[in-house]
Amino acid sequence: MDALLTSYETIYIIKPNLSEDNLLKIIENYQGLLIERGAKNIVTQNRGRRGLKYLINKFRDGVYIQMNYEANGEVVDFIEKSMRINEDVIRFLTTRNVV
């Protein structure tokens, strides 16, 4: 089954006004979802608070989180749907890594 896994990178931006605890809960939640759905080689990096090029939902900056993992398309769809309905995630983007 590992042959069906593709390498992906998801970057998402979290609202900057959250407490450190809430930020960690969101990060752990998405890592847990990936593990639960069978993703492999998960690497998550907190890229820190950065300014946005333009206002998004009245925010001038946000906390950037980068996740690299191997999964199938269903996992990516599930994660993106979860991010779409999470009010604390203001933007996200998933790209497939080509080796």
Q: What is the pLDDT of residues 31-50, one digit of tens each?
A: 999 999 999 999 999 999 99
pLDDT of residue 12: 97
Q: How far apart are CA 38 and CA 96, in angstroms?
A: 17
Q: How confident is the model at residue 97 (pLDDT cuts 50, 70, 90)?
A: confident
Task: Please report the sign of the dihedral spanned by the C-alpha atoms of residue 47, residue 51, residue 55, residue 60.
Answer: positive
Q: What is the pLDDT of residues 63-86, one digit of tens each?
A: 999 999 999 989 999 999 999 999
Could you tell me if residue 58 is left (phi over 0), alpha (psi between -120 and 50 degrees) or otherwise beta? Answer: left
pLDDT of residue 5: 83
Q: What is the pLDDT of residues 6-22, one digit of tens each?
A: 999 999 999 999 999 99
Tokens for 49, please give them: 């608070």
